[in-house]
């Protein structure tokens, strides 16, 4: 009896000392983030992007026109590809990655003559998308419908200093111009009358 008890304790100790292997199943990584609102971008790029987006005959088109005044999104999970970038109709369809961690979004106004006519189809109740979204590298910002290089703190400070120096130079020349104008006016007031002018004045008084 004692021998069996000791054997059971030894077996339990051996089992507990075996290291457990970690599970190989990994959960998908989700980074907490919020999309950046896009600033004003290149007009040429914006025009080209919108033209390509509404070219329904293109193989990469993600829209279809089933109604004369309405565009329907075929599949919201399918990206619209333009200029080596992928665009979605909501930032929730994007997954951030190490290469493209910055999520950009450009809101869609209902009054937009083109984008304001784009709809999701959910049964019999279509609804408008809120924004167009895309991903950018870490050191980039959001401009129009593209990624733009963000200026560093040093570049911003240099730019601010140059602007201030330019304003100071402009103010200096403006003050010098005003002083010159005032000097000219002062000299003109103290210029003595010419003899011809005096003679004509005296003849007029004699008459």
Each residue's pLDDT tens digit, 10-68: 444 444 443 333 333 333 344 456 688 999 899 999 999 999 999 999 988 999 998 88
> What would the mean pLDDT of 178-191 be, rounded to a whole number?
77
B/e letters for 147-179, b = 16+ CB within 10 Å, e = fewer, are bbebeeeeeeeeeeeeeeeeeeeeeeeeeeeee
Q: In sequence order, which residues have a C-beta less than 8 Å from that of residue 128 and are 6 or more positions away? A: 108, 110, 116, 118, 119, 120
The three-state secondary structure class of 24 is coil
Tens of pLDDT, residues 79-115: 999 999 999 999 999 887 888 999 999 999 999 999 9
Residue, of 34 and 205, whose pLDDT is higher: 34
Is a pLDDT exceeding 60 seen at residue 197? no
pLDDT interval class at 154 (50, 70, 90)? low
Residues forming a β-bridge with 131: 107
Is a pLDDT exceeding 50 seen at residue 155? yes
pLDDT interval class at 190 (50, 70, 90)? low
* pLDDT for 143: 94
- What does pLDDT average to over the chain? 78
> What would the mean pLDDT of 65-83 be, rounded to a whole number?
92
Is a pLDDT exceeding 70 seen at residue 157? no
* pLDDT for 191: 58
What backbone phi and psi angles, to 5 degrees, belong to 189? -70, -30
Share of the chain above pLDDT 90, in %: 42
- 166-172 — which CB contacts under 8 Å span 24+ positions? none
């Amino acid at each position: 009896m004692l021998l069996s008890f000791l054997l059971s304790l030894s077996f339990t100790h051996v089992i507990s000392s075996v290291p457990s292997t970690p599970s190989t199943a990994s959960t998908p990584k989700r980074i907490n983030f919020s999309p950046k609102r896009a600033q004003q971008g290149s007009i040429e790029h914006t025009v080209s992007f919108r033209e390509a987006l509404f070219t329904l005959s293109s193989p990469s088109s993600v829209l279809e026109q089933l109604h004369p005044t309405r565009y329907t999104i075929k599949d919201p999970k399918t990206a619209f590809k333009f200029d080596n970038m992928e665009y979605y109709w909501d930032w929730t369809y994007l997954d951030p990655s190490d290469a493209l961690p910055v999520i950009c979004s450009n809101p869609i106004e209902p009054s937009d003559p083109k984008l304001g006519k784009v709809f999701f189809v959910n049964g019999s109740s279509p609804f408008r998308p809120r924004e167009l979204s895309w991903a950018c590298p870490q050191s980039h910002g959001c401009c129009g419908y593209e990624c733009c290089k963000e200026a560093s703190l040093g570049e911003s400070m240099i730019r601010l200093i140059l602007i201030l120096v330019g304003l100071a130079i402009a103010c200096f020349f403006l003050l010098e111009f005003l002083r010159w104008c005032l000097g000219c006016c002062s000299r003109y007031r103290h210029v003595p009358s010419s003899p011809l002018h005096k003679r004509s004045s005296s003849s007029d008084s004699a008459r």
